[in-house]
Amino acid sequence: MAAAAHGHTPAAWTGVVISFVGFGIAGVAMILPSVLLVWAGLAVVVAGGVVGKAMSMAGMGQQASTNVYKSAEEQTAAREARVAAVTA
């Protein structure tokens, strides 16, 4: 888990918190028979996804990893370099 920072960004946290509030609104609305409030809660959930994506596109999301190899050849070359460094 330490190598991957999946979801540990302001964009992810904001989107999840907004969506969580929306699910709470929709849940309460189901107990109180209010169709309008259920739809309002679901709209808040969708808004959470939109806000999270917008923040991610604005640079507050996860950045591209530098540990990802572009091809199998590069992966093999990196493995061989590590083996050579250990055996040298």
Give the tens place of pLDDT for each residue, 10-64: 888 999 999 999 999 999 999 998 999 999 999 999 999 999 999 988 888 877 6
Interval 64-68 mean pLDDT? 63
Q: Quick one: how far is CA 83 from the chain centroid? A: 34
What phi and psi, each to the nearest 5 degrees, are found at residue 63? -85, 160
**pTM above threshold 0.75:** no
